[in-house]
């Protein structure tokens, strides 16, 4: 039994096992390293989940950006190209290209109505180019 | 071993190269005060040992955030006091022990005599202290055994000096009555 440097009165009569205070620091340091490991373990799964979510989100955003950006770029490039090289196209080619382009986006009935409009109203090429 | 000032200890702890050394110095300086403070509250040595280690782990984790708006030892005492109160509350909840019986359990630990070397008068004093409500017991221990000033106890417990004086006075009266009974 030891009561250490404090006198027996101030300890209230309590005592400790022999040399109890001598290695208290070592035991506390051990507990600190264990508790730090526990902290890392406790948050390991949460950190893994967060990292996975971040990766999935990044990939998704990258894909979304690529998917959205390409048609816009194509549209801009196409328009700029046509504007820059308008002299190189003859009127028939432009008309055919426009009809072909619109036919991709339009459904069959729209295409048919468009064809009928051109044929029935006897639209000349200049009017058509102006309208387009 | 000389006493280190709060600033010395904090400077050493906050320097990454001397952090462990600073913390060891802090433990050397405060380990006994913390242990005896805890021991008088929880009575059993094994519980006190466990809680003392917990207190120092908490100090290690929180010392970087210590704002120095109080003395280091009152901050440490506050952590130790909170640990003791939490421990006793947990014990009550875990075993569904009504408030009155936890003191009986502590009394049983005291009477078992394990790691107790006090004489008959000291034992009687400890038994008398165990009859007090937890807060009074805390205040009485800090005033009587640790000889802390009311201002320091007020900082630790977050209670006004006036309330502490009243609490200590009441506790002393009850202890006198208990001891004077036989």
Task: Pick the closest to residue B115 from B162, B46, B26, B21 (CA basis).
Answer: B46
Option in B24, B32, B122 nearest A4 (CB): B32
Structural domain boundaries, residue B69: 1-116
What's the pLDDT at B151? 95
List the 123-162 stretch of B: residues with Cβ below 8 A of A. Answer: 123, 125-126, 129, 141, 145-146
In angstroms, the CA A51 to CA A63 distance is: 18
Determine, for residues A10 and B36 on separate chains, whether the beta-carbon distance falls below 8 Å.
Answer: yes
> Per-residue pLDDT for B99 more than 70?
no
Considering the domain architecture, whether residues B1 and B91 belong to the same structural domain is answered as yes
Could you tell me the CA-to-CA distances from B108 to B44, B93, B99, B173 in Å, in that order?
A: 10, 19, 15, 24
For residue B28, the chain A residue with the least C-alpha distance is A25
Considering the domain architecture, whether residues B110 and B140 belong to the same structural domain is answered as no
User: Contact at 8 Å (CB) between B65 and B29?
Assistant: no
Considering the domain architecture, whether residues B45 and B126 belong to the same structural domain is answered as no
Task: Give the mean pLDDT of chain B.
Answer: 89
> Per-residue pLDDT for B122 more than 60?
yes
Looking at B69, B84, B116, which one is the last position of a domain? B116
What 3 state SS string does A41-85 have? Answer: HHHHHHHHHHHHHHHHHHHHHHHHHHHHHHHHHHHHHHHHHHHHC
Considering the domain architecture, whether residues B52 and B35 belong to the same structural domain is answered as yes
Q: Find the angle CA(B78)-CA(B161)-CA(A10) to the nearest 5 degrees.
A: 55
- A40: which chain B residues are within 8 Å (Cβ-Cβ)? none
Residue of A7, A11, A42 best to disrupt the B interface, most CBs of B under 10 A: A11
Considering the domain architecture, whether residues B46 and B88 belong to the same structural domain is answered as yes
Considering the domain architecture, whether residues B168 and B146 belong to the same structural domain is answered as yes
User: Contact at 8 Å (CB) between A12 and A6?
Assistant: no
In angstroms, the CA A94 to CA A99 distance is: 9
Q: What is the C-alpha R_g of chain A?
A: 41
The total number of structural domains in chain B stands at 2
The crossing angle, in degrees rounded to 10, of helices A24-84 and B19-42 is 120
> Per-residue pLDDT for B38 more than 80?
yes
What's the pLDDT at A106? 52
Average the pLDDT over B140-145 and give the result: 94
φ and ψ of B126, to 5 deg: -65, -40
Strand partners, A2: A16
| Helices of type H across B18-159 | 19-42, 45-62, 72-94, 99-112, 120-130, 134-144, 150-157
What's the pLDDT at A41? 65
Considering the domain architecture, whether residues B73 and B105 belong to the same structural domain is answered as yes
> Per-residue pLDDT for A124 more than 60?
yes
The token pair at A105 is: 């986006």
In percent, how much of chain B has pLDDT > 90? 63
In angstroms, the CA B97 to CA A78 distance is: 82
Considering the domain architecture, whether residues B110 and B31 belong to the same structural domain is answered as yes
User: Which of A56-65, B81-90, B104-113, B121-130 tops mean pLDDT?
Assistant: B81-90
The token pair at B93 is: 């909840």
Each residue's pLDDT tens digit, A4-47: 444 555 787 888 898 899 989 999 999 888 876 666 666 677 77
Average the pLDDT over B148-174 and give the result: 95
φ and ψ of B96, to 5 deg: 50, 40
User: Residue B123 sits in a domain of what CATH number?
Assistant: 1.10.10.10
> Per-residue pLDDT for B36 more than 70?
yes
Determine, for residues A17 and B20 on separate chains, whether the beta-carbon distance falls below 8 Å.
Answer: no
Task: Pick the closest to residue B12 from B33, B34, B1, B27 (CA basis).
Answer: B27
Q: How confident is the model at residue B144 (pLDDT cuts 50, 70, 90)?
A: very high
Considering the domain architecture, whether residues B124 and B181 belong to the same structural domain is answered as yes
User: Which of A56-65, A67-76, A118-127 tops mean pLDDT?
Assistant: A56-65
> Per-residue pLDDT for B87 more than 70?
yes
Q: How confident is the model at residue A2 (pLDDT cuts 50, 70, 90)?
A: very low
> Per-residue pLDDT for B162 more than 90?
yes
What's the pLDDT at B132? 92
In angstroms, the CA A12 to CA A91 distance is: 109
The token pair at B53 is: 């280690």
What's the pLDDT at B52? 96
In angstroms, the CA A88 to CA A79 distance is: 14
User: Which of A29-38, B85-94, B149-158 tops mean pLDDT?
Assistant: B149-158
In percent, how much of chain A has pLDDT > 90? 5
What's the pLDDT at A6? 47
Dihedral angle, C-alpha B41, B42, B48, B51, nearest 10 ° = -90
- A24: which chain B residues are within 8 Å (Cβ-Cβ)? 27, 31, 35, 52-53
What ipTM was reported for this prediction? 0.80
Considering the domain architecture, whether residues B111 and B127 belong to the same structural domain is answered as no
> Per-residue pLDDT for A77 more than 80?
no
Residue of B23, B24, B29, B56 best to disrupt the A interface, most CBs of A under 10 A: B56
User: Residue B20 sits in a domain of what CATH number?
Assistant: 1.10.1740.10
Q: In whole angstroms, what separates CA B120 from the centre of its chain?
A: 23
Considering the domain architecture, whether residues B124 and B97 belong to the same structural domain is answered as no
In angstroms, the CA A56 to CA B128 distance is: 65
């Amino acid at each position: 039994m030891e009561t250490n440097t404090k006198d027996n009165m101030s300890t209230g009569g309590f005592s400790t096992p022999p040399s109890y205070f001598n290695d208290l620091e070592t035991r506390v340091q051990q507990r600190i390293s264990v508790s730090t490991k526990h902290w890392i373990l406790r948050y390991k799964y949460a950190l893994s989940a967060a990292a996975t979510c971040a990766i999935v989100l990044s990939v998704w955003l990258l894909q979304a950006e690529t998917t959205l950006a390409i048609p816009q770029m194509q549209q801009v490039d196409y328009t700029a190209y046509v504007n820059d090289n308008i002299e190189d196209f003859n009127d028939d080619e432009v008309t055919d290209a426009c009809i072909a382009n619109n036919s991709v986006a339009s459904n069959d009935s729209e295409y048919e109505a468009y064809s009928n409009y051109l044929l029935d109203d006897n639209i000349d090429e200049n009017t058509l180019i102006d309208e387009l | 071993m000389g006493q280190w000032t709060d600033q010395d200890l904090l400077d050493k702890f906050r320097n990454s190269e001397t952090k462990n050394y600073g913390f060891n110095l802090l433990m050397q300086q405060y380990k006994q005060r913390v242990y005896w403070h805890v021991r008088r509250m929880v009575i059993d040595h094994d519980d006190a040992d466990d809680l003392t280690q917990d207190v120092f782990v908490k100090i290690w984790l929180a010392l970087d955030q210590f704002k120095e708006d109080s003395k280091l030892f009152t901050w440490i005492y506050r952590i130790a006091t909170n640990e003791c109160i939490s421990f006793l509350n947990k014990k009550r909840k875990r075993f569904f022990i009504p408030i009155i019986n936890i003191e009986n359990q502590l009394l049983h630990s005291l009477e078992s005599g394990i790691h107790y070397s006090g004489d008959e008068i000291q034992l009687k004093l400890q038994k008398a202290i165990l009859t007090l409500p937890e807060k009074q017991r805390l205040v009485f221990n800090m005033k009587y055994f640790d000889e802390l000033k009311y201002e320091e106890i007020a900082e630790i417990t977050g209670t006004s000096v006036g309330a502490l004086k009243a609490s200590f006075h009441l506790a002393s009266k009850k202890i006198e009555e208990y001891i004077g009974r036989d």
